[in-house]
Amino acid sequence: MSAAKPLAIVTGCSRGLGLAIATKLYEKGFDVAGIARSYPPPAQKKFLSHCYKCDLSQPQQVETLFHSSLKEEMKNRDRIVLVNNAGSLGPIGPTSLFGDDAMGAVASLDATIRLNVTSPMWLSGAVLREAGAEAAVRIINISSGAADSAYPGWGTYCASKAALRMSGQVLAVDASEFDELKGRDVRVFDYAPGVVDTDMQLQVRTSDVKLFPRVEKFVGLHSGGKLVKAEDSAMPVVDFALCGPGEAYTQGDMGRRVP
């Protein structure tokens, strides 16, 4: 009986960087379980072993999907990779507008935190719980320069990316200090993919300058041909997905390839 293929669970897989990551991992021999609010184009859907529709800002949907489908897919896998890619800028504008109708309801802010932080943290824990003790587990959190640099008008995005980064650092410490995780091949990669040519960047470039004063910086990056192709930005993620044992926590970006 042949061994099961390695499994990659990729969130936000229907387009942009998530689709590029899913495609590259499929080409490297992974079974890819994609999660997104919508299906990718038919031509790209072939790169997903399974594509699950799920709104990751809704915790009940995430829990139901994991226990009904993903948990079963994880069985008998020697390598399991979770790529927490899905994310949103959330409400844009000065902090003084929080709670105002122009900024959106509290529910909008809360939904962004759940999408950017809560679901990735919960999925990371669920994968660790259900993966076999001998399985190599790689958790890759798609980060941003906004995790450690404050951008005016991006309070929700900056705060959520900083929280996601810290959650990865804590997970790595957990793996070294809790008996149930000690000795397991668990590694975390916090990866800032660069300014990637995606729909999120289009949203940034078309932001109201009154709500995001630095919009011209991103307009200039686009007009100057400085955006990174999603296919190129996906490669460090693939490298880490395939890597052997090493440091529990690694932080990197487009310029750093992981051995």
Closest to 139 measured CA to CA, from 1, 29, 11, 3: 11
Distance between CA 250 and CA 258 in Å, rounded? 9
DSSP for 178-231 reads: STTTTTS-EEEEEEE--SBSSHHHHHHHTS-TTT-TTHHHHHHHHHTT-PBPHH
Count the residues in the chain.
Answer: 259
209: tokens are: 């300058």
105: tokens are: 């309801």
Residue 249 annotated among the catalytic residues of the structure: no
Catalytic residue among 26, 52, 151, 157: 157
Question: In whole angstroms, how far apart are CA 97 and each of 93, 164, 195, 219, 248?
Answer: 7, 24, 27, 24, 39
Cross-strand partners of 79: 136
Amino acid (1-letter code) at residue 100? D
Strand-by-strand arrangement of the 31-36 sheet:
50-53, 31-36, 7-11, 79-84, 136-142, 186-192, 249-253
Q: In 3-state terms, what secondary structure has residue 77?
A: coil
Question: In whole angstroms, how far apart are CA 44 and each of 8, 39, 50?
Answer: 16, 9, 12
Distance between CA 4 and CA 78 in Å, rounded? 8
Any idea which residues carry the catalytic annotation? 157
